[in-house]
Structure formats: structure tokens, C-alpha cells
Structure 1
Amino acid sequence: MPELKCTVQTCTHNKNFYCDLDQIVVGGSGAKRSGETCCDSFEERTADSYSNVTGEASPKSEIDCKAVECMYNKDCNCHAGKISVEGSSACKCEQTECATFSCGS
């Protein structure tokens, strides 16, 4: 399981740069660069979601990766030692990205 560091402070799942989900989905099936990927698990934090946060965040998460061209993608699972999800002021998942993405082709 990769270590997941997330700078997307506008996501309801982000707790001190970690994710409270056990598994996230990285989108970008046709991606050739990191800007063409996204965190499909992103949910914008609202006043209601912020006050109802109860899950625990962990530095490790399963990564279901749809970015099949990434050198770390093996059978749609991420095998990087650690990844960084970025998009600090994102309002929707398309404004996030897997900064660790590296095109393997």
C-alpha cells in the first residue's frame, strides 16, 4: 500500500494532509502527464461535511489507479512507494491530480 500525501485541503476526506478513505480512485485512463489525472474520490468540503467529519485518516491507502500509462500502475493498482495528490483549492475532481504520475511508455 502506498503512502498517500494529499494537499487538497478542500476535500472532505483530507485530514492534516492524509485521507480518511481506505481506498481512493485515481482517474485518467488516457493520461500521458500528471495534469491529465485526477482523484475521482474527491468530494468538496462544505460547512455541513466539515462538521460531520468522523473518520480516521491514515498515511497509507489502497490506490485504484485508472491511469494505465503510469509506470507505477500494475493491474490498476498503484505500486509507488508514496504518492502525492495535489490541487489545494480544488472545487471538483478535475482540479486535482496525482503528482507522482510518470508515463511509462
Structure 2
Amino acid sequence: MFTTRRIQSGEADLFKQIRLNSLQNAPYAFHPLTIRHYNELLESWREQVESTALGIDRATFVTFSDNEPVGIAALYRLDNQADVGEMLQVWVAPECRGTSVAWEI
């Protein structure tokens, strides 16, 4: 069984864990500048989490299986378009692909 929830304030370590897992599993899916970004300081991770945990223009969702993060997706509202957004950072752990995880996120 999968559970999905919005990332919460203070969960920079969780965010970093799942994003690094996704990068290690599927480096071909990321822009080279994104890869360099992962070497940034913990403060950057915190800023990303806080902006998507509490804001109304960005949201990050994490899916869990037995309390282990197995999926992530973020939705960012486009500037000046209240009803249009862009989905990014979508990743599902290999062992969960072909299941309902993508629909849960």
C-alpha cells in the first residue's frame, strides 16, 4: 500500500534522500546543471523544501511504501497563470514502477 503526502516543513533530509536516489537511479533524466546542483549546501535543500511545503505556488509530494520514500513529484504554478502549472521532479523507485505509484503522486 502506498501513501502520498505533501512534503512538510523541516524535511530537507527526506527531500535530499529521495532526490539523490532518483539521480543515482536515472541520471539520464536530469539536465547536467541539475546534477551540479545536488552538490550544493544543505541550506539549498532546506529552501526548496520550505518553498514547496508551505507556499501556494509550489508543492512537492512524496509517496511512501512501508515508510520508505518511493516516489516524488512537484507542481509549480506558472507565473501570471493561476490555473496553469508544470509538473517536474517526477520519479518512481524501480521496484515500484508498473504499480499505482504514479497515480498516487
In the superposition, the TM-score normalised over structure 1's length comes to: 0.23
Larger RCO, structure (CA 8 Å, separation 6 or more): 1
In the superposition, the TM-score normalised over structure 2's length comes to: 0.23
- Structure showing the higher helix proportion among its residues: 2
